[in-house]
Amino acid sequence: MSKACQLFSGSKGNSIYLSCSTGKFLIDVGVSAKRIEKALDEIGVSPNDLCGIFVTHEHSDHISGLRVFACRYNLDVYAHPDVIAAMRNTKKIDDKVKTKEISSPLELAGVKIIPFENSHDSVACLGYRFDMSDGRSICVCTDTGYVTDDAKEKMQGCDLAFLESNHEVTMLQNGTYTYQLKQRILSNSGHLSNDSCAEYACELVRGGTTRIVLSHLSRENNMPDIAYQTTLCALRQEGFKENKDFRLSVSPQVNHERPIVL
């Protein structure tokens, strides 16, 4: 069976754990190595059992603990070649970190990992689809101003999707952020709004996805219940029934629950 758990979510740090009978993986290490170790221990996972780390992009809330954690457990780090170069140029990682470029599908520990392009103001930003050895598929799509055609193609028919629901537009527009920062978040290379997330969630469920986890919520410009209700209402308006056609949840900033089992 496959398992998935968002260990950390949001602007303070992001990391997702995925596993099946043949392999265990991390997507991003956006908090300290110590906090990642503690979070994994709480769900009964040893870092020594991980097969690798997959990095979405080079922003600090996705890689702040990467260098220490990867070196401590001698883990391969997979990322877009431009992201690897950026992390090295900014000294976020050093030569002790074993990096491997990913820009096309690869197989690791019996799992097929398929990268896809997101639209974000980083040197490059990837989402990932993991086709697990038991036939289940899990996708991670966060940090994107809109859902790209590449993401839609690669995510089609997945069982579980971690999908960004970053902000509620009115809260952002009326909030304390500078005009420039608001425009950045609202742009096509910013972050996915609740409404955009809800629209794509309906497309996912129409294609057979049964589990959606709303992720990367803004602490200042969103609330978990607002994000949840926005997507839930959109799915209900399409005629889908909760706990029959889909299950919907929101990632907390720090996980305190057991992994989702598929």
pLDDT tens, position by position, 73-100? 999 999 999 999 999 999 999 999 999 9
pLDDT at residue 256 is higher than 90: no
pLDDT at residue 205 is higher than 90: yes
Q: Which CATH architecture has domain 3-257?
A: 4-Layer Sandwich (3.60)
145 token code pair: 């101003």
pLDDT at residue 147 is higher than 90: yes
4 token code pair: 């998935």
The full DSSP string for 197-226 is HHHHHHHHHHTT--EEEEE---SSS--HHH
pTM above 0.95, yes or no: yes
pLDDT band (50, 70, 90) for residue 260? very high
Is 9 strand, coil or helix? Answer: coil
Q: Please, is 100 exposed, middle or buried when counting C-beta atoms within 10 Å of its C-beta (0-12, 13-18, 19+)?
A: middle
